[in-house]
Each structure stands twice: as C-alpha cells, then as structure tokens.
Structure 1
Amino acid sequence: MTGSLIIAGLGPGADHLVTPEVTEALAQATDIVGYIPYVARVAERPGLTLHPSDNRVEIDRSRHALEMAADGRQVVVVSSGDPGVFAMAAAVFEAVEAGPDHWRDLDIRVAPGITAMLAAAARAGAPLGHDFCAINLSDNLKPWALIERRLRLAAEADFAMAFYNPRSKSRPEGFARTLDVLNDACGDARPVIFARAVSTPEEAIRVVPLPDARPEMADMRTMVIVGSSTTRIITRDGAPFVYTPRSVA
C-alpha cells in the first residue's frame, strides 16, 4: 500500500468553513496528527487513529507523520486555519529537507483552509482590501527585536497589519509592547479590530481607535487587525463596516 501525507487546514472553527477537499482527506485518513485541540475537532471512527501532541513539538510531530506515511499509512496532519500560515506545513517541509532522502518521494500535499486573518477580516468588512502584512507576535521562535523591527517597518510602509498570537498567559507583555510601538510609529487613530473566536459561538468583534486599544482586549483566540492610514469606518446601526480602499490618492 502506498502511503500519503496531507497537511490540512481545518479553518477558523465552524464546521461549514472546512473545505470539501479537507473533509474528503479526513474521511480517507488512517491517522490524524496534530496539536491536541485541533485533533479533538476530528470525529473518531473505526479504522482511524488519532495522534494528539503538545504545541511545541512541531518537528517531532512532522517526523512521526512522515514515518507513518513511509510505512504506507494515509496520514493527515491538521492545523487550524490554513496549514501554510504560521502552521504545520512549514514544519513538515523542514522535516522533509532534514530527513532521509526517501521522504522526498512521498505523496505530500497541502490542503488549504480559511485562515483566521481572512475570517476576521470578512466579519469586519474589508480591512485588508489594499496592501497588508501578517505578523506572528509570538517570540517563541524569533526574538522580540525582530518583531519590533518588522512592526516599525510595516507602520512606515503604511500597511494594514494582521496579528496572530497576540497575547498569552506566558507572555502577556508582548502585545502591550506592540501597541506602544504602533502608537509611536503611526501617530494616528486608525481602527483596530479585535476579532475573537470567529465563527464559533464565542465570537466577539470589537473596533476601537489605536490610542484606545488595550492589551487585555486580546488573547490567544483573538485575531487583531490594524488598519492603514487610509482605512475607513462606515458607521451604522449595529457593528460598523471597516474597509481599506483599493486605491491610494
């Protein structure tokens, strides 16, 4: 039996936002590999083995998946959102590059998903309608000095910015420092969108001016989007629409 490895994105949370391609891959899998809460989103069934693991063992998890695929298993590595955006696809290919040559000949595919950045933007309107960048605010895999440099350069370039992993219990100070950098670099009241648990029953969307943004408004389930200097707010009854025009004067 020829094995395969599919790196799949489960989307932001709601079942109806999982793509048909990913649903089919899960239905055909013999083994599901991933971070504990993501594996828990996959229903158990006969013939399927679940392999949940901790969040800080991405390379070990990738090697395990590759070994099972090499043994003829139909393996799916799951991530939330899209697997190519701050997720498992890069870790799998890092393991392939450093691993035995026969891993390079495996049937390896990436099945995209709707990432949190896009789901959050859709809920707010179109804040990413013009040029934007995405930055992971976690300093687990890169130094804070690099994060700060990228924040300042993105602000100087007047990008809209989407922030992943803004604030956790183990590093509550990082997002406070991010807001300090942005207030210093931007110097205006551009909108900040706090989109928490988008597409789940706990969803909450909040829009505030940058000077009014506070660290406690975000946690690890929050996607933060900061507009550019041209981002607009359309007020109305209920939540406003936030959008960035596609053209610049």
Structure 2
Amino acid sequence: MSAGWLSIVGLGPGDAALVTPEVTAALAEASDVIGYFPYVARVAPREGLTLHGSDNRVELDRARLALELAAKGARVVVVSSGDPGVFAMASAVFEALEAAPKEWRDLDIRVLPGITAMLAASARAGAPLGHDFCAINLSDNLKPWALIEKRLRLAVEADFAMAFYNPRSKARPEGFARVLNTLRDVCEPERLILFARAVSTPEEELRVVPLAEATPEMADMRTMVIVGSSRTRLIARKGNPLLYTPRSVPEGTA
C-alpha cells in the first residue's frame, strides 16, 4: 500500500488565528492541497507544495483527484472553510471513496475538524445556539426546495434555533425570500434573526432583527443566518447587544 495519506481539513471561518494547530501541521507536511479556489488561496505557497484550485461545483472531481494522488504516494490535504464535515468536502471524499477501487479504502484518511461558520457567528453574537438547534443548507442544488421547506416547518414546530448555510446566491436570489415567507407562515413576527456576515474577517458585520423586519437583501453567500427559537432573548447594552437562547425549557412545555 502507498505511503501517501489524505487529510480532509477545515480552515475555520476566515481568521488565520482560528485554524487549529492540527490543521496547520497537516498543511506543513502536505505535498498537494486541493479545494475550491478561494479556500486554496488561503494556503501559503511554498517549495514542494502543489496547489490544486477548482470551481465550487466539482466536489466529486476534487475528491477523486485527492484519492488518486494519495494512492500514488502523495501527502494530500483537501481544504474546506469552517469544518470539513459540515456541508463541505468530507462527505464528498467518502462518496468518491465508496465508488473507487476497493484497495483505496485502506488509505490513511483523516478528517481534521475546524471551527464552523455557525459556531463562529454564534460566539460573536453571544449564545443563540445555547439550547437545541439544527443546521440547514438552503441551497437547492442537491436537494429539492420542497424538502427544504418541510425541514424548515418541522424545525420551527420542534422549536429549534436554526443555523442557515448558503442563504442567498446570485444564481438563486429568490430562495431566501421563500425561506422568509415560510418562516412568517409559522413563526411570530418578533422571532429574532441574526445576520452574521464574513465573521472573523475585516468585513465582519452583525445585525439582529425581528422576523418582521428581515429582508432577503440582508443575506448573501458570506452570511450565516441564525434564527432563534421562541425563547431566544436579546440583552441590550452599550455596543452590540447579546443574543442568547436559555439553557432550560419550563416543565410542561411541548
């Protein structure tokens, strides 16, 4: 078996200080780094390192390349933003592995976690994910809109706080408007929503508004949207307010 290895890593939300030491060590040992162009651009070039940037819709192609290089003896790092297991490349690599030659299953493959966008956004705002919550990818590229709407409605019924990934792209600007309309069908207008854009970068912006005041233009693909539960609270103070969801639910609540 080849001495190559494959690490699937998360680069965190943007700030280099939020990249874990484990990921930094893997990048220092890598011979090849593979990923979406903007994420590969976050890795400093050096002698002996080949950077393989590619478009955002070729995840399986990236995964197959990574496996092929590792099988030939390369030390391969596949990069994602945030955490590689949350709407990112880890799942794509394993999907490709399942269809690949069986001997590739014996490769040294590791998933190295990173700080997710939803956790970074939550920390910046306070603790809106302080109780039960769920994460939903709002892109309908790989699943139908009807399933997204069903999951939204059921999450509201269960009174989860919700973290939304990929809320509004240039290719489908109408999608987030549909999400807000769905929420307005089933939520009270006072439900608090956090729009956290480009968290941990110089372009960071935080905004908390009630559902009644939320508009589609408040989100783009660099925005993490967190919708509070019915119990999520806002503490006013000087500077940015603190958004949090209490740790407990009154007995008898259903």
User: TM range, normalised to the smaller chain?
Assistant: over 0.9
Q: Which residue of 2 aligns with 1:214?
A: 215
* 1:187, distance to aligned residue in structure 2 (A): 2.4
Between the aligned partners of 1:239 and 1:191, the Cα distance in structure 2 is 15
Q: Which residue of 2 aligns with 1:241?
A: 242
Q: Which residue of 2 aligns with 1:147?
A: 148
Residue by residue over 1:35-80, the C-alpha shift from the partner in whole angstroms, topping out at 9 and shown as x without a partner, is: 0000000000000000000110101110000000000000000000
**Residue 177 in structure 1 maps to residue 174 in structure 2:** no
Between the aligned partners of 1:20 and 1:183, the Cα distance in structure 2 is 43
Contact 1:156 1:186 in 2 (8 A): no
| Residue type at the aligned position of 1:211 | A
Q: Which residue of 1 aligns with 2:93?
A: 92
| Residue type at the aligned position of 1:71 | K
Matched residue of 1:76: which SS? strand
Percent of paired sites with the same residue: 77
Contact 1:166 1:219 in 2 (8 A): yes
Q: Which residue of 2 aligns with 1:197?
A: 198
Q: Which residue of 2 aligns with 1:59?
A: 60
Aligned residue-pair number: 249
What TM-score, normalized by structure 2, do the two folds share? 0.97
* 1:238, distance to aligned residue in structure 2 (A): 1.1
| Residue type at the aligned position of 2:195 | F
What TM-score, normalized by structure 1, do the two folds share? 0.99
Residue by residue over 1:158-216, the C-alpha shift from the partner in whole angstroms, topping out at 9 and shown as x without a partner, is: 10000000001100000000000001111241110000000000000000001110000
**1:19-38 correspondence runs (5 A):** 19-38=20-39
Between the aligned partners of 2:59 and 2:13, the Cα distance in structure 1 is 20
Matched residue of 2:190: which SS? coil
* 1:98, distance to aligned residue in structure 2 (A): 1.0
Between the aligned partners of 1:40 and 1:188, the Cα distance in structure 2 is 41
Between the aligned partners of 1:229 and 1:206, the Cα distance in structure 2 is 18
Contact 1:5 1:109 in 2 (8 A): yes
Q: Which residue of 2 aligns with 1:112?
A: 113
**Structure 2: gaps spanning 5 or more residues:** none
Residue by residue over 1:200-249, the C-alpha shift from the partner in whole angstroms, topping out at 9 and shown as x without a partner, is: 00000000001110000000000000000000110011111000001001
| Residue type at the aligned position of 2:28 | A
Matched residue of 1:200: which SS? coil
Between the aligned partners of 2:103 and 2:89, the Cα distance in structure 1 is 20
Q: Which residue of 1 aligns with 2:126?
A: 125
Between the aligned partners of 2:37 and 2:104, the Cα distance in structure 1 is 25
**Residue 134 in structure 1 maps to residue 131 in structure 2:** no
Matched residue of 1:229: which SS? coil
Between the aligned partners of 1:101 and 1:172, the Cα distance in structure 2 is 42
**Structure 1: gaps spanning 5 or more residues:** none
Between the aligned partners of 2:242 and 2:84, the Cα distance in structure 1 is 29
Q: What stretches of structure 1 move > 4 A for 4+ residues in a row?
A: none
